[in-house]
Every structure is written in C-alpha cells, then in structure tokens.
C-alpha cells in the first residue's frame, strides 16, 4: 500500500487472475496521480488481465489524477479494451458525469465477481 497525500493506493490481482484491481481511497492529489499513472501503465501493458479501478472510497480527485485515469482509458480503448471504474453515488461519480468522462469508462457499482453480470466486457470499449 502506498500513501499519497491523504489517500491510499493498493494494487493486486484478483483471485481468478482475470482482473488487475487498483483500489484507491481518500483524497487523490498530485502525488497520488503519479502512483496511479504508474500502476495504470502496468495494467495497460498487461493484456492478460482486465484493469479495474475501485474508486468507492475516494473522496476527492484532482485534475492530475483524473487525467491519469483518462489517459489509461484512452490507451486501453486503442487496444480494444476498457478501463472499468467501480464507483458509488457521490463526488467521484458526479465528477465523471460533469467532466464528460463517464462514457469513456465502464462504470460498475461493484467489483467484478461480487455481483452478477458485473464483469467488464473488453469488447465494450470498441
């Protein structure tokens, strides 16, 4: 786990090894954005797994962190894949909607494997 500003970042592979889960919490500022960009770069390069970012415990996202998510999403779309974001109603989902970026991600209410039909479909990015 990496502490960034007042946020926490953890990355791990899911038990079924089909997903690379990045779990974020707290406030995501400039320092956190660098770590997020690094983790997402690894996820983009690993074509054997579907990248998923859990943002349910995030309370604030600055423009650098949002840009890191958008950049990774664009790279994955260029590969015919999607970046799935797990979000709950609140400031982060509002930010995605208001910024016009919500449609660039696969938005999930639960992490893959925890709710029926919630697994990202890489073809959805096409």
Bridge-based pairing state of the strands 2-4 and 7-13: antiparallel
4 pLDDT higher than 80: no
More confident residue, 122 or 62: 62
Kindly report the pTM of this predicted structure.
0.81
Percent of the chain topping pLDDT 90: 52
- Residue written as tokens 């400039």? 30
Rounded to an integer, the average pLDDT of 13-34 is 80
pLDDT computed for residue 32 by the predictor: 81
Q: Which domains does the chain have, with CATH numbers?
A: 2-125 (3.30.750.24)
The number of angstroms, rounded, from the C-alpha of 78 to the middle of its chain's C-alpha atoms is: 17
Q: Are 28 and 54 in contact (CB under 8 A)?
A: no
How does DSSP assign 42-111, residue by residue? HHHH-TTSEEEEEEEEEEEE-HHHHHHHHHHHHHHHHTT---EEE--TTHHHHHHHHHT-GGGSEEESS-
Contacts of 3 (CB under 8 A, 6+ apart): none
pLDDT computed for residue 120 by the predictor: 47
């Amino acid at each position: 786990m990496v502490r960034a500003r007042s946020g926490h970042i953890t990355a791990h592979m899911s038990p079924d090894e089909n997903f690379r889960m990045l779990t974020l919490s707290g406030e995501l500022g400039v320092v956190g954005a660098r770590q997020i960009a690094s983790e997402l770069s690894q996820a983009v390069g690993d074509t054997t797994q579907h990248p998923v970012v859990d943002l349910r415990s995030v309370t604030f996202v600055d423009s650098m962190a949002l840009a890191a998510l958008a950049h990774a999403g664009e790279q994955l779309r260029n590969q015919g894949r999607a970046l799935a974001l797990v979000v709950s109603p609140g400031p982060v989902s509002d930010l995605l909607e208001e910024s016009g970026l919500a449609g660039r991600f696969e938005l999930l209410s639960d992490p893959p494997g925890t709710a029926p039909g919630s697994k990202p479909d890489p073809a959805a990015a096409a």
